[in-house]
Amino acid sequence: GSSEDVLRRAVTEIKAGRYDADIIETNGPELEALHREKVFEPVNSATMADIFPQAVPAHKEWVGSRLNIITASYNTQLVSDADVPKSWDDLLDPKWSGKIGLEAEAYDWLATIDQSFPSEQQGLDFFQKLAKTNGISLRKGHTLLTNLVVSGEVPVSLTNYLYKVDQMNKDGAPIQKLQLGPSVARVNGLGVAKTATHPAAALLFQEFTLTDGQKILADRGFTPANVKLVPLPEGLNVQVVDGAKMLDQLAKWRDTFNATVK
Task: Say what the pLDDT of residue 135 is.
Answer: 96
Task: Say what the pLDDT of residue 119 is.
Answer: 94
Q: Which domains, from first to last, does the chain contain?
A: 3-65+188-230 (3.40.190.10), 68-184+252-261 (3.40.190.10)
Task: Say what the pLDDT of residue 20 is.
Answer: 94
Task: Say what the pLDDT of residue 262 is.
Answer: 84
Please check the confidence at residue 235 and state whether its pLDDT lies above 80. Answer: no
> Averaged over 181-203, what is the pLDDT?
95
Task: Say what the pLDDT of residue 237 is.
Answer: 84
Calculate what percentage of the chain has a pLDDT beyond 90: 89
> Averaged over 111-115, what is the pLDDT?
94
pLDDT 10s digits, 87-110: 999 999 999 999 999 999 999 999
Burial 157-195 (b: 16+ CB within 10 A, else e): bbbbbbbbbbebbeeebbbbbbebbbbbbbbbbbbbbeb
> Averaged over 63-84, what is the pLDDT?
96
* pLDDT bucket at 186, cuts 50 / 70 / 90: very high
Kindly tell me the sign of the dihedral angle through the C-alpha atoms of 32, 70, 236, 163: positive
Q: Residue 113 — left, alpha, or beta (φ > 0 → left; ψ -120 to 50 → alpha)? A: alpha
Task: Say what the pLDDT of residue 243 is.
Answer: 86
Task: Say what the pLDDT of residue 221 is.
Answer: 84
| CB atoms inside a 10 Å sphere around CB 226 | 25
If you average pLDDT over every residue of the chain, what do you get?
A: 94
Higher local confidence (pLDDT), 61 or 181: 61
Please check the confidence at residue 2 and state whether its pLDDT lies above 90. Answer: no
Task: Say what the pLDDT of residue 157 is.
Answer: 97
Q: Report H helices in the chain.
A: 3-15, 28-36, 107-113, 120-134, 142-151, 162-170, 199-210, 212-219, 243-261
> Averaged over 246-261, what is the pLDDT?
93
Of 137, 144, 165, nearest to 75 by C-alpha is 165
* pLDDT bucket at 153, cuts 50 / 70 / 90: very high
pLDDT 10s digits, 19-35: 999 999 999 999 999 99
Q: How far is the C-alpha of 232 from the C-alpha of 183, rounded, in Å?
A: 12
